[in-house]
Structure 1
């Protein structure tokens, strides 16, 4: 494991007061597994997931900026978790993917023209000599609303988005894996968004945020 996945960066500004406050409970725990579980649950449920706020600027993707919000995009929540884990001396990195959403997509499809979301943000966490994937995106209230099992994570097994809801209806599908990244690849995120939603990208080019 390379120590670069522990580094503080502009985006993972974990010495900021906001991220230090985020990890204060986890700091009191003994094992890294306990710390991972505590922080994952805190990020999962303290920020409501919203796919309708997409950042196009460096400031948008700064962990301390995200921490001040009440809701966040999946990439934003992934960045928060990574910053907190690195602050706890636990290696973590961003993973990007393309997914399709099969439930409650009318508003999303009206804006994007598709039920495919790209890029989608996940987190890779290094524990006991292995990398494991997790998605802190869907808070428990949202899962209850859409009749989906809530995801838990303690670093020992992959925990990614749910393929089916509790009625066995298709919920989420992973379509493409864009790989993992040492830091937030803003230019690459923008290029993925542009390739998948060219007209929307033109409309909001130069905007601070895309809000639907």
Structure 2
């Protein structure tokens, strides 16, 4: 799908982007001022997802049910796919078109343990969101919380609804942090079967047969690394 005029599919409720659910409706009502303009509401929802939902790769539920926006709100945690689905769903609930973007990236907030489980520092199917505001598409990544950015010493990503919010290439110490290697495309709904197939092939040591990531904690990894330095 291109980046042109949004269609009905970019506003639709789906199994994964279930913005017609009570959980998403309540989240939006609590997070975005009803009397504000669309850009202000989109920005408010960005920060509500970024800092209100814990970013965690370990133990993430990548089953069909676990990836629904309503499920992420109930659990309060998720990785990039979960949080981007939630943000896209919340946007659609207030009439703002949204899409999911999947890309392969190098150095996806990796600790030594996570790099070992992933089989390297390239992560398949990193996910972010595209938002249609004021007649144009803007990229938004409401993924790494303020706390995790502080622990891993990377610049937190801000979003103003007008300029793209993507990962900075360097961390606060000048080390290369993230490199986008390949974009798989933009999607009005989550291509679940493709994601499951590709993740199992690319990262067999990271995922259990049930598509739940192995146990652990990114915060514990960061604290442990700091203590060893």
TM-score by length of 2: 0.85
State the partner residue of 1:204.
Answer: 208
Q: 2:20 aligns with which of 15, 18, 37?
A: 15
State the partner residue of 1:194.
Answer: 200
User: Is the contact between residue 135 and residue 159 of structure 1 (CA under 8 Å) also seen in structure 2?
Assistant: yes
Cα gap change, 1:143/1:56 in structure 2, threshold over 3 Å: closer, same or farther? closer
State the partner residue of 2:127.
Answer: 121
- How far apart, CA to CA, are the structure 2 residues paired with 1:105 and 1:179? 27
Cα gap change, 1:22/1:106 in structure 2, threshold over 3 Å: closer, same or farther? same
What do the CA deviations read for 1:12-49 (whole angstroms, capped 9, x no partner)?
Answer: 11121210111113142421110110000000001121
- How far apart, CA to CA, are the structure 2 residues paired with 1:173 and 1:125? 22
State the partner residue of 1:94.
Answer: 100
- The offset of 1:110, in angstroms, is 1.9
132-141 vs 56-65, which moves further: 56-65
Q: Does 1:111 align with 2:114?
A: no
**Mapping for residues 26-175 of structure 1, pairs under 5 Å:** 26-101=32-107, 104-175=110-181
What do the CA deviations read for 1:87-142 (whole angstroms, capped 9, x no partner)?
Answer: 01000011101111176520111211111111111001001111111111100001
User: Is the contact between residue 13 and residue 64 of structure 1 (CA under 8 Å) also seen in structure 2?
Assistant: yes
Q: Which runs of 5+ in 1 are unaligned?
A: none
Which structure shows the higher strand fraction? 1
Cα gap change, 1:102/1:18 in structure 2, threshold over 3 Å: closer, same or farther? closer
Provide the alpha-carbon RMSD of the alignment: 1.7
- How far apart, CA to CA, are the structure 2 residues paired with 1:94 and 1:73? 14
- How far apart, CA to CA, are the structure 1 residues paired with 2:56 and 2:121? 15
Q: How many residues matched?
A: 209
